[in-house]
């Protein structure tokens, strides 16, 4: 549906674009938040049910530690059997259940008009529960982001909403699900902003927060309250602690880069296998089972491992073994295309690296494990604020925030300098789509027409006859169209070369004036304070490459904006980023002499 030109060109300027529909979306987000929390509860119970079925042969949702006391053959058989089921579900159900969920959510937001199917909403939690319950080394966060997002998207598709509004409810469901699983509302909101929304607008921010608040209220009733991994940390004092945290961040940034590179090399290996992709998860599960024979702790989400790292109760050899075997099992399983999340394995691997540093640095392994978790999340997912706050919320240790932030920013800096894409966006890139994870103000929304227009443009009087217009364009007029003005200089319309050609071949009397031809003042126009993004919309809608600029008080033509002017505005903003100068001259003592 096209937007009326008067609406485009004369909307009062405001700092934000929010309108009454924001309140409607916030109300809808209340339901989505409740449904997303319910989805998280269902997913956790499905995982518990699958765990009991695979390892105890019982129909139960009681908590249990998988692999504990199980015979060695079951350590291999259970992951393979679960992966075979997932392969069949993906082949005959939906391929979208493969992978860890967050890239699929991003792709739906950016390229799928935020539309997700009911089939995905049903199959993703089920497949993830089977994967994790059978011993797959994954977490529940990616699946719940995909599931909560699907709930929000399906709800939005029941109403007449725009793609941007559907995106808001999709992300609201995802953030609510993450809050319900981990009890980290602030980190869930930041994850929505840094990874999923690709904008910072009240229209999306307010509904997402409303959905998260609903999850905060319902979580104690359905899942539990308090920090997911409560920890009692000894925070070392001294000026060296923050620099050391930054150094650990650099190390976890390198770790994130190595993990991402290894993951996609393994994925490439599976793509070269001469077998159908349906069988790949089972082949990857053989490696998971073999790793479990070496260290059973790699099975499942490994929340117990995260707690042990944060308690500082693991010995050095155990930490090294967990770091190596968990990395191998997780990378191969995820590269095989099975269903599962990335966050819990990343927390384990980052925490293990931090704990190793803690055996050397003062403060003990637990404190540095916490920082390693913040760093790996920041480096791998390119979400530094989320990583820093997530680690603090997850443990209830908000005193550690300055240090988690130092570690997160170090990892983020290394990640963006060394890796072209994150572990999330690389998968989308391999499908031929590019994502820029940077927020900036569009110059077309910031610059106004009066700043780039050509002032005092050439105009034609409305007393000019049609025959004279035909001659004017035939004699080589410089532009394709010109504003037409009355005796007071006010805009009457726009006449183009196409108009002249039509009049030349038509039956319009030659002595007809432009004023008589352009009797209805409906020509799209803008005012000097109109953002040039509105001008671009008018040019695209009308096909006219030149838009008149009129004074707000008396409709006098004061300028004209062309396509070339719009491109110049964008180019000027690019020059601001790349053109370097020295406005203040340094004293001769500080100048280079070579």
pLDDT in tens, 321-345: 999 999 999 999 988 988 877 888 9
Residue ending a domain, choose from 168, 188, 222: 222
Domain match, 33 and 180 both: yes
Higher-scoring residue by pLDDT: 349, 501: 349
pLDDT band at 377 (very low <50, low <70, confident <90, very high): very high
Quote the tokens at residue 295: 């260290």
Specify the DSSP class assigned to residue 490: B
The mean pLDDT value for 186-214 works out to: 91
Q: What is the CATH number of the domain that holds 453?
A: 3.10.580.10
The mean pLDDT value for 13-19 works out to: 70
pLDDT band at 107 (very low <50, low <70, confident <90, very high): confident
Domain match, 245 and 285 both: yes
Domain match, 456 and 562 both: yes
Residue 1 has a pLDDT of 36
451-486: b (≥16 Cβ within 10 Å) or e? ebbeeebebbebebbbebbbebbeeebeeebbbbbb
pLDDT above 70 covers what percent of the chain? 93
Is residue 445 over pLDDT 80? Answer: no
196, 106 contact by CB (below 8 A) = yes
Domain match, 248 and 168 both: no
Is residue 195 over pLDDT 90? Answer: no
Q: Whole-angstrom Cα distance, residue 568 to residue 136?
A: 54
Other C-beta atoms closer than 10 Å to the C-beta of 13 total: 8
Nearest one of 565, 541, 580 to 447, comparing CA atoms: 565
The mean pLDDT value for 525-548 works out to: 86
Assigned domain for 326 exists? yes
Assigned domain for 450 exists? yes
Assigned domain for 8 exists? no
Domain ranges, residue 32: 20-222
Assigned domain for 588 exists? no
Assigned domain for 583 exists? no
3-state SS assignment for residue 485: strand
Domain match, 201 and 320 both: no
Domain match, 209 and 349 both: no
Is residue 436 over pLDDT 50? Answer: yes
Residue with tokens 């049910």: 49
The mean pLDDT value for 268-282 works out to: 92
How many structural domains compose the chain?
3
Per residue, the 3-state secondary structure of 439-483, as one string, reads: CCCCHHHHCEHHHHCEECCCCEECCCEHHHHHHHHHCCCCCCEEE
Is residue 519 over pLDDT 70? Answer: no
Domain match, 424 and 456 both: no
Model pTM? 0.82
The mean pLDDT value for 150-174 works out to: 89
Angle between helices 72-92 and 118-133 (to 10 degrees): 170
Is residue 390 over pLDDT 90? Answer: yes
pLDDT band at 4 (very low <50, low <70, confident <90, very high): very low
Residue 60 has a pLDDT of 87
Domain match, 257 and 398 both: yes
Bridge pairing between strands 460-461 and 481-485 = parallel
Q: Whole-angstrom Cα distance, residue 187 to residue 153?
A: 21
Domain match, 421 and 451 both: no
Mean pLDDT of the chain: 85
Is residue 507 over pLDDT 90? Answer: no
Q: Whole-angstrom Cα distance, residue 268 to residue 261?
A: 11
Over residues 450-471, the pLDDT tens digits come to 888 888 888 888 888 888 888 8
Is residue 421 over pLDDT 90? Answer: no
- Cα separation values, 468 from 463, 472, 516, Å: 10, 6, 14
Residue ending a domain, choose from 398, 429, 460: 429
* Residue 311: CA count within 13 A, CB half-sphere: 12
Residue with tokens 């704990």: 355
Contacts with 362 (C-beta within 8 Å, 6 or more apart), sequence order: 236, 238
Domain match, 451 and 415 both: no
Higher-scoring residue by pLDDT: 507, 407: 407
Burial class (CB in 10 A: 0-12, 13-18, 19+), 242: middle
Residue 11 has a pLDDT of 61
146, 101 contact by CB (below 8 A) = yes
pLDDT band at 111 (very low <50, low <70, confident <90, very high): confident
Q: Whole-angstrom Cα distance, residue 132 to residue 233?
A: 30
3-state SS assignment for residue 63: coil
Highest mean pLDDT among 316-325, 426-435, 518-527: 316-325
Nearest one of 211, 154, 203 to 179, comparing CA atoms: 211
Assigned domain for 232 exists? no
Q: What are phi and psi of 462, to 5 degrees?
A: -70, -10
Burial class (CB in 10 A: 0-12, 13-18, 19+), 584: exposed
Higher-scoring residue by pLDDT: 501, 175: 175
Residue with tokens 């500082």: 312
3-state SS assignment for residue 526: strand
Contacts with 570 (C-beta within 8 Å, 6 or more apart), sequence order: 443, 444
Residue with tokens 């190390």: 251
Domain match, 294 and 385 both: yes
Residue ending a domain, choose from 222, 253, 283: 222
Q: Whole-angstrom Cα distance, residue 345 to residue 207?
A: 30
Assigned domain for 14 exists? no
Assigned domain for 438 exists? no
Nearest one of 493, 491, 518, 492 to 503, comparing CA atoms: 518
Bridge pairing between strands 460-461 and 454-455 = unpaired
Quote the tokens at residue 245: 């945290």
Residue with tokens 């532009």: 479
Per residue, the 3-state secondary structure of 242-283, as one string, reads: HHHHHHHHHHHHHHHHHHHHHHHHHHHHHHCCCCCHHHHHHH
Nearest one of 48, 153, 63, 158 to 106, comparing CA atoms: 153
Q: Whole-angstrom Cα distance, residue 218 to residue 201?
A: 26
Is residue 243 over pLDDT 80? Answer: yes
pLDDT above 90 covers what percent of the chain? 36
Is residue 163 over pLDDT 90? Answer: no
Highest mean pLDDT among 119-123, 439-443, 527-531: 527-531
Residue 284 has a pLDDT of 92
Domain match, 48 and 178 both: yes
Is residue 73 over pLDDT 50? Answer: yes
The mean pLDDT value for 268-277 works out to: 91
The mean pLDDT value for 6-23 works out to: 67
Residue 520 has a pLDDT of 53
Pick the range with the lowest mean pLDDT from 56-70, 151-165, 292-306.
56-70
pLDDT band at 121 (very low <50, low <70, confident <90, very high): confident
Over residues 17-47, the pLDDT tens digits come to 777 888 999 999 999 999 999 999 998 999 9
Nearest one of 169, 145, 158 to 32, comparing CA atoms: 169
153, 108 contact by CB (below 8 A) = yes
Q: What is the CATH number of the domain that holds 207?
A: 1.10.3080.10
Residue 576 has a pLDDT of 67
């Amino acid at each position: 549906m096209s937007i009326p030109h008067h609406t485009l060109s004369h909307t009062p300027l405001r700092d934000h674009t929010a309108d009454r529909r924001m309140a409607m979306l916030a109300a809808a987000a209340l339901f989505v938040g409740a449904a997303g929390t319910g989805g998280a509860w269902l997913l956790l119970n499905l995982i518990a049910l699958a765990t009991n079925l695979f390892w105890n042969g019982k129909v139960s949702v009681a908590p249990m530690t998988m692999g504990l006391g199980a015979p060695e053959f079951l350590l291999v058989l259970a992951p393979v059997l679960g992966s075979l089921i997932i392969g069949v579900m993906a082949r005959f159900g939906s391929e979208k259940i493969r992978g860890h969920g967050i890239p699929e959510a991003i792709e739906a937001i950016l390229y799928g008009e935020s539309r997700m199917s009911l089939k995905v909403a049903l199959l993703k939690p089920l497949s993830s529960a089977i994967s994790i319950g059978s011993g797959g080394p994954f977490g529940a966060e990616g699946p719940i982001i995909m599931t909560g997002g699907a709930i929000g998207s399906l709800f939005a598709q029941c109403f007449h909403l725009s793609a941007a509004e559907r995106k808001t409810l999709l992300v609201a469901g995802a953030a609510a699900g993450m809050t319900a699983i981990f009890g980290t509302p602030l980190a869930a909101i930041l994850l929505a902003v840094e990874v999923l929304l690709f904008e910072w607008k009240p229209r999306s921010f307010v509904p997402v927060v409303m959905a998260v608040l609903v999850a905060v209220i319902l979580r104690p009733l359905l899942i539990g309250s308090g920090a997911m991994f409560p920890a009692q940390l000894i925070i070392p004092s001294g000026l060296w602690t923050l620099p050391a945290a930054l150094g650990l961040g650099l190390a976890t940034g390198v770790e994130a880069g190595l993990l991402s590179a290894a993951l996609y090399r393994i994925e490439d290996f599976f793509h070269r296998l001469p077998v159908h992709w349906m069988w790949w998860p089972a082949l990857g599960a053989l490696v998971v089972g073999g790793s479990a024979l070496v260290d059973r702790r790699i099975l499942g989400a490994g929340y117990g491992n995260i707690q042990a790292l944060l308690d500082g109760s693991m010995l050095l050899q155990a930490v090294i073994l967990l770091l190596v075997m968990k990395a191998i099992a997780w990378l191969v399983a995820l590269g095989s295309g099975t269903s599962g999340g990335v966050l819990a394995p990343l927390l384990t691997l980052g925490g293990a690296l931090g704990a190793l540093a803690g055996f050397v640095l003062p403060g003990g392994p637990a404190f540095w494990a916490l920082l390693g978790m913040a760093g790996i999340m920041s480096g791998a997912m390119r979400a530094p604020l989320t990583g820093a706050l997530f680690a603090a919320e997850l443990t209830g240790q908000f005193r550690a925030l300055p240090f988690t932030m130092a570690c997160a920013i170090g990892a983020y800096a290394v990640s963006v300098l060394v890796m072209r894409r994150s572990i999330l966006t690389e998968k989308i890139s391999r499908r031929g789509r590019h994502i820029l994870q940077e927020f900036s103000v569009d110059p077309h929304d910031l610059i106004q027409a009066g700043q780039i227009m050509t002032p005092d443009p050439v105009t034609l009087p409305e007393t000019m006859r049609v025959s004279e217009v035909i001659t004017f364009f035939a004699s080589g007029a410089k532009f394709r169209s010109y504003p037409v003005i009355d005796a007071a200089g006010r805009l009457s319309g726009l006449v183009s070369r196409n108009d002249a050609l039509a009049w030349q071949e038509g039956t319009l009397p030659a002595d007809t004036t432009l004023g008589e031809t352009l009797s209805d003042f409906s020509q799209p126009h803008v005012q000097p304070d109109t953002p040039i993004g509105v001008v671009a919309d008018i040019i695209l809608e009308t096909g006219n490459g030149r838009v008149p600029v009129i004074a707000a008080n008396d409709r006098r033509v004061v300028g004209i904006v062309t396509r070339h002017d719009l491109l110049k505005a964008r180019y000027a903003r690019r020059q601001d980023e790349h053109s370097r100068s020295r406005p203040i001259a340094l004293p001769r003592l500080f100048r280079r002499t070579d």
